[in-house]
Structure 1
């Protein structure tokens, strides 16, 4: 399989009028290769140009609009053959992730996720709803603790809860501390505390259920395992950063069903070729989000003229 540099050289040397056809031919070659290697399974690549473009968040993150793309792309697939989902995303709306998961799981007899590079936040949630995850040395998942937008600022839901907890403890210990905490707690407000806790509970409960239903299905302690894993991924107090890298070793240590991409060299070469091809497409087109299927169906989100790139 060609390297990223090989593909880029091929693309650059292809005359401009033929570049689109070159992309399509290579896409068909690599997607078909992954499908055949996986026993004829359906293959979908869901990816965003968050590493290549400074685009508005909805253009690169997981949103409710994405369900339209998945519906379009899976049309005509033989759902009984299962789905291999190649996932590359910074994350996004947990509610949209739930919609995508429930839709795909209602259609396909089995779902496996391959992470060529990054599947963060809500992307991790989707990964945890699979039967198994395949990761390479370069691959990473991330914490699933929700992020809240308040007054144009993004803040951790766990941070909000922890701050109120700390304030309560310090004020109970020393009532005079209330004067110090007053400006902070007043700016956040009790409604935000309730929203933050609800968001944390929502993500953790949902992922725990998915794990017990699918990845841990058949285990005698599936419910307990699901809850423990969901709690770990949702524990921002431990992770410290919403963008923290959770690699293959940590995923395995949590009991997830994870395979090493390097253990299957032909699959690794095919998956990375798909990823490199999509990287080239993101860099040389207005595309910010792609959903592409092994059946040749595509859905694309493009930057509008004048938007940041």
Structure 2
């Protein structure tokens, strides 16, 4: 028999999930301070992200601001646009917070925000589509360039064919064509993401034109950096935060816990977390 009082978690269960409860308490404190809903995505951007992010948006009010703490090495740009659309449909204003890096497809997500919060060490990057090969992400430009280089060297020295065929054993022509098609879509994905940001058409066109060089055409490597000053000069709505502010101290306390957990880019763990939902997986 019970007296109707709410049941408590058992001590062992509470101990097993203490770190998660600690992070969610930081999320609640941030929300009380900012009056915004805070959710967290630390992961590569692929199809599973849609369902996991939707879980975090459950019960979201279209009248409330939404803040997303985002850390990601990139992934699928098409998925990135879907994620931005889903968030913008569930809030009055979208802010994306970047404590570390948001590269490639994650940069596309940032383009769809009303505001991007960064510190001096935060980093966006080239919109270079990523493909998972042998457990790691490889940029579309890297795939195409590797094949071109191999073809040129084999043409000069045919006896090197076994060497280069071995080096490129995990790359086939279908993958190369997919990489080329994805690169050709980069311009459109930038425009589609910007269309979610609330900017008028003229402003979107001007910013998209500025971004095509630094984020697509002129970017020779996926690791190229775009800091807050560079992003702001391109017309992006970047706010460089005061690292000593109370709100950022809460974000940083939260981020260091994910870093310690082994989430991207410190390790291979993925995190989708909010006040009421939490999913962590990976090594």
TM range (shorter): 0.7 to 0.9
Matches within 5 A, 1:80-99: 80-99=63-82
Instruction: Give the TM-score normalised by the residue count of structure 2.
Output: 0.75
Higher relative contact order structure (alpha carbons within 8 Å, sequence separation ≥ 6): 1
Matches within 5 A, 1:186-197: 194-197=177-180
Gap change, CA 1:112 and 1:178, over 3 Å in 2: same
Tell me how far 1:178 sits from its aligned partner.
11
Instruction: Give the TM-score normalised by the residue count of structure 1.
Output: 0.70
Tell me how far 1:46 sits from its aligned partner.
0.9
**Residues 115 and 134, structure 1, Cα contact 8 Å, conserved in 2:** yes
User: 1:84 is paired with a residue of what secondary structure?
Assistant: strand
Alignment match of 1:250 (pick from 230, 241, 262): 230
Task: Please give the alpha-carbon distance, in whole angstroms, between the structure 1 residues aligned to 2:136 and 2:117.
Answer: 34
**Residues 204 and 231, structure 1, Cα contact 8 Å, conserved in 2:** no
Which residue of structure 2 aligns with residue 76 of structure 1?
59
Alignment match of 2:271 (pick from 290, 297, 301): 290
Gap change, CA 1:79 and 1:291, over 3 Å in 2: farther
Deviates more, 1:136-145 or 1:100-109: 100-109
Task: Please give the alpha-carbon distance, in whole angstroms, between the structure 1 residues aligned to 2:278 and 2:187.
Answer: 30
User: 2:242 is paired with a residue of what secondary structure?
Assistant: helix
**Residues 128 and 210, structure 1, Cα contact 8 Å, conserved in 2:** yes
Task: Please give the alpha-carbon distance, in whole angstroms, between the structure 2 residues aligned to 1:79 and 1:87.
Answer: 20
Task: Please give the alpha-carbon distance, in whole angstroms, between the structure 2 residues aligned to 1:69 and 1:166.
Answer: 39
Which residue of structure 2 aligns with residue 43 of structure 1?
38
User: 1:27 is paired with a residue of what secondary structure?
Assistant: helix
Gap change, CA 1:81 and 1:243, over 3 Å in 2: same
Which residue of structure 2 aligns with residue 180 of structure 1?
156
Task: Please give the alpha-carbon distance, in whole angstroms, between the structure 2 residues aligned to 1:25 and 1:298.
Answer: 11
**Residues 205 and 227, structure 1, Cα contact 8 Å, conserved in 2:** no
Task: Please give the alpha-carbon distance, in whole angstroms, between the structure 2 residues aligned to 1:181 and 1:156.
Answer: 27
Task: Please give the alpha-carbon distance, in whole angstroms, between the structure 2 residues aligned to 1:300 and 1:273.
Answer: 19
Tell me how far 1:146 sits from its aligned partner.
1.6
Deviates more, 1:195-204 or 1:149-158: 149-158
Alignment match of 2:123 (pick from 140, 152, 156): 140
**Residues 208 and 227, structure 1, Cα contact 8 Å, conserved in 2:** no
Gap change, CA 1:93 and 1:190, over 3 Å in 2: closer
**Residues 124 and 225, structure 2, Cα contact 8 Å, conserved in 1:** yes
Give the alignment's Cα RMSD to 1 decimal. 3.7
Task: Please give the alpha-carbon distance, in whole angstroms, between the structure 2 residues aligned to 1:166 and 1:287.
Answer: 31
User: 1:262 is paired with a residue of what secondary structure?
Assistant: coil
Alignment match of 2:25 (pick from 13, 23, 29): 29
- Deviation string for 1:154-180 (max 9, x for gaps)? 75433566789999xx9xxxxxx9953
**Residues 287 and 300, structure 1, Cα contact 8 Å, conserved in 2:** no
Gap change, CA 1:24 and 1:220, over 3 Å in 2: same
**Residues 208 and 229, structure 1, Cα contact 8 Å, conserved in 2:** no
Q: Matched residue pairs, number? A: 262
Structure 1 unaligned runs (5+)?
A: 1-14, 49-60, 171-176, 304-308
Which residue of structure 2 aligns with residue 232 of structure 1?
214
Task: Please give the alpha-carbon distance, in whole angstroms, between the structure 1 residues aligned to 2:254 and 2:136.
Answer: 35
